[in-house]
């Protein structure tokens, strides 16, 4: 049965909520350079177990761009969103790739707001000097030639080799419709990200790791470091998915997230 949906246009970040507000809250943080829409194929099913909060970060989807962004400013934006929603309960934060990097920063800056973490196809390392240059090139490419050119450089690596053409077209559309300023700011934010390896051992909230078996951007060897370093964490591998399991294998992704959320009581 479809769950109640509400779009919130009067919050600091444009946000969609799905599900019963009394259920345990889960805050979904999208990857680069896309929007909350990447979660939609899985979110209705997760909403059977949780109150789903799906914002667009500044410069993505329907939230206007800002000139300067950083991983830290995105994390603070999310804390501000929870304040503006009056959501005082600790949330489960589910972040994919850039969203996972933001979730680690959120853990460092806003630990008391977190009940649990779900980290999907993400990274713990700071950018390498060569990587910083590539991120700057991507930012300029977006501003000078548009986001389609950036999308074309990313799309094939972002998905598993057997992806359905409709899913590829959907991801391409999401990447191409992100404003160039959002893509550029996100690329520079990724270039400036902190190293989180030392943080992993300090994570003291229940943590689920979800990874696509065929991820060509953040491969399974990275997931294994997360699993080794985060006390008590568990890794779920989604067969047949690449870097974006909630779009590529939504039912399988939703099932592991729902199972994890079932164990999270809706604290008051």
Which spans of this chain sit near ligand MLT (rule: CB under 6 A)? 31-32, 97-98, 123, 190, 217
Distance of alpha carbon 265 from alpha carbon 206, whole angstroms: 13
Smallest separation, CB 241 to ligand MLT (Å): 13
Report the residue number, 98 or 139, with the smaller CB distance to ligand MLT.
Answer: 98
Q: How far is the CB of 34 from ligand MLT (least distance, A)?
A: 7
- Could you please report the per-residue DSSP string of 64-113? PP-S---HHHHHHHHHHHHHHHT--S-EEEEEETHHHHHHHHHHHH-GGG
Residue placing its CB nearer to ligand MLT in the complex, 14 or 32: 32
| Shortest distance, position 98 Cβ to ligand MLT, whole Å | 3
7 or 224, CB closer to ligand MLT? 224
What's the alpha-carbon Rg for the chain, to the nearest Å? Answer: 17
As a whole number of angstroms, the distance between CA 247 and CA 178 comes to: 17
Q: What's the rounded Cα separation, in Å, for the pair 58 and 9?
A: 13
- For 178, the enclosing helix (H) or strand (E) is none
The nearest distance, CB 37 to ligand MLT, in angstroms, is 14
- When the beta carbons of 57 and 85 are compared against ligand MLT, the nearer one is 57
Q: How far apart are CA 168 and CA 158, in angstroms?
A: 9
| Residue placing its CB nearer to ligand MLT in the complex, 19 or 186 | 186
User: Which pair of structure tokens corresponds to residue 199?
Assistant: 């943080």
Closer CB to ligand MLT, residue 163 or residue 217? 217
Query: Is 31 or 61 the residue whose CB approaches ligand MLT more closely?
Result: 31
Between strands 114-120 and 207-212, the pairing is parallel
User: What are the structure tokens assigned to 235, written together?
Assistant: 């890794």
Shortest Å distance, C-beta 192 to ligand MLT: 12
Give least dist CB 232 to ligand MLT, A.
25
241: part of which helix (H) or strand (E)?
Answer: none
Q: Residue 221, SS3?
A: helix
Shortest CB 160 distance to ligand MLT, Å: 14
Cβ-based burial of 73 (10 A; exposed 0-12, middle 13-18, buried ≥19): middle
């Amino acid at each position: 049965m479809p769950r109640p949906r509400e779009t919130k246009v009067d919050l600091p970040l444009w946000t969609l909520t799905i599900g019963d507000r009394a259920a345990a809250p889960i805050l979904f943080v999208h990857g680069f350079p896309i929007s909350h829409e990447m979660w939609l194929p899985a979110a209705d099913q997760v909403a059977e177990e949780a109150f789903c909060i799906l914002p667009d970060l500044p410069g993505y989807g329907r939230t206007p761009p800002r000139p300067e962004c950083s991983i830290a400013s995105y994390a603070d934006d999310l804390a501000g969103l929870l304040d503006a929603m009056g959501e005082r309960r600790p949330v489960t934060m589910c972040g994919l790739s850039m969203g996972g990097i933001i979730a680690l920063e959120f853990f460092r800056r806003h630990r008391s707001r977190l009940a649990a973490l779900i980290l999907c196809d993400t990274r713990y390392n700071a950018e390498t000097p060569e990587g910083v240059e590539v991120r700057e090139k991507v930012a300029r490419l977006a501003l000078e030639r548009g986001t389609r050119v950036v999308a074309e450089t990313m799309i094939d690596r972002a998905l598993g080799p057997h992806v359905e053409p409709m899913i590829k077209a959907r991801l391409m559309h999401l990447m191409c419709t992100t404003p160039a300023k959002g893509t550029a700011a996100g690329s520079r934010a990724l270039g400036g990200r902190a190293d989180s390896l030392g943080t992993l051992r300090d994570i003291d909230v229940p943590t689920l790791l979800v990874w696509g078996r065929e991820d060509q951007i953040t491969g399974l060897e990275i997931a294994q470091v997360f699993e080794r370093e985060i006390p008590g964490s568990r890794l779920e591998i989604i067969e047949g998915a690449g870097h974006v399991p909630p779009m590529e294998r939504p039912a399988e992704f939703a099932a592991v997230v729902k199972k994890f959320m079932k164990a999270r009581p809706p604290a008051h």
